[in-house]
């Protein structure tokens, strides 16, 4: 694949600063900056390659997600020989959860390299994890599997992957509450409605009822977040019964 020379409108000094920043993050020298520039290119820039295909980080994000899952799977397979398929899948999900990837992206301050027409203060939390995955995809295209594995070992596995801690980590409080209700043969209902508050962003509110009794309430900027927040409150309110 070829790209126009001026497609990123870069200057030598900007390339030099970008190169040094990348080298610090990666722990090795990038070879082809074009892949990494694409990893930080937001779709709002509306860039296209010579064939007219959209250029942004989303395809690299897809690739990076696959590479991350493969390398984490290999690590767990080697480290936990007694773990069955279900256990390994669950542990991998905890490591590559959206929440965890967002934390990784924040720790590396990746957002400061994002090129976008949208103010960075308007981005949602997931931009951090999305760009982290895109960066992994760029590493794979630039340096191959071994360097990709090296980066993930340094930035994900060594500092964050502790098997015993992960075993006790909760991915979804909503899943825990639903699973408990099903085991106890209790009915449950998430009553979600649009909140008519004075916030500039639209909010949703939720009432979580178990056996027709409201056990928790919450609000957030999405239905999913509101349900998870209400479930977390319900879990801590009922945790003595859920043990």
Q: Which of 112, 108, 83 is nearest to 159 (CA)?
A: 108
Long-range contacts of 156-163 (CB under 8 A, 24+ apart): 156/68, 156/72, 156/95, 156/104, 157/72, 157/75, 160/95, 160/100, 160/104, 161/72, 161/75, 161/95, 163/79, 163/80, 163/91
Strand partners, 192: 206
164 is in an annotated binding site: no
| Token pair of 59 as six digits | 């395809």
The one catalytic residue among 49, 58, 65, 142: 65
The one catalytic residue among 125, 133, 194, 199: 133
115 is in an annotated binding site: no
Strand partners, 137: none
130 is in an annotated binding site: yes
Active site residue 133: yes
Give the C-alpha separation, 108 to 139, whole Å: 15
| Token pair of 63 as six digits | 């690739």
Catalytic residue IDs? 65, 133
Which positions make up the binding site? 61, 130, 133
Which positions make up the binding site for Mg(2+)? 61, 130, 133
């Amino acid at each position: 694949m070829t790209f126009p020379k001026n497609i990123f409108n870069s200057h030598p000094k900007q390339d030099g600063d970008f190169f040094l920043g990348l080298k610090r993050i990666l722990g090795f020298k990038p070879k082809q900056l074009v892949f990494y520039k694409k990893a930080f290119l937001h779709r709002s820039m509306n860039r296209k390659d010579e064939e007219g295909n959209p250029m942004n980080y989303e395809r690299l994000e897809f690739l990076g997600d696959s590479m991350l899952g493969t390398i984490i799977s290999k690590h767990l397979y080697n480290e936990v020989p007694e773990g069955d398929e279900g256990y390994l899948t669950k542990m991998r999900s905890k490591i590559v959860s959206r929440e965890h990837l967002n934390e990784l992206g924040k720790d590396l301050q990746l957002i400061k390299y994002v090129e976008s027409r949208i103010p960075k203060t308007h981005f949602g939390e997931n931009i951090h994890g999305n760009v982290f995955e895109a960066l992994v995809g760029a590493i794979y295209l630039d340096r191959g599997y071994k360097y990709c594995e090296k980066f993930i070992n340094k930035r994900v596995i060594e500092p964050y992957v502790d098997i015993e801690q992960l075993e006790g980590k909760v991915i979804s409080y909503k899943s825990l509450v639903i699973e408990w209700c099903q085991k106890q043969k209790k009915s449950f209902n998430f009553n979600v409605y649009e909140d008519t508050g004075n916030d500039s962003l639209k909010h949703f509110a939720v009432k979580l009822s178990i056996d027709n009794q409201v056990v928790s309430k919450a609000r957030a900027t999405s239905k999913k977040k509101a349900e998870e927040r209400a479930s977390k409150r319900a879990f801590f309110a009922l945790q003595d019964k859920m043990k």
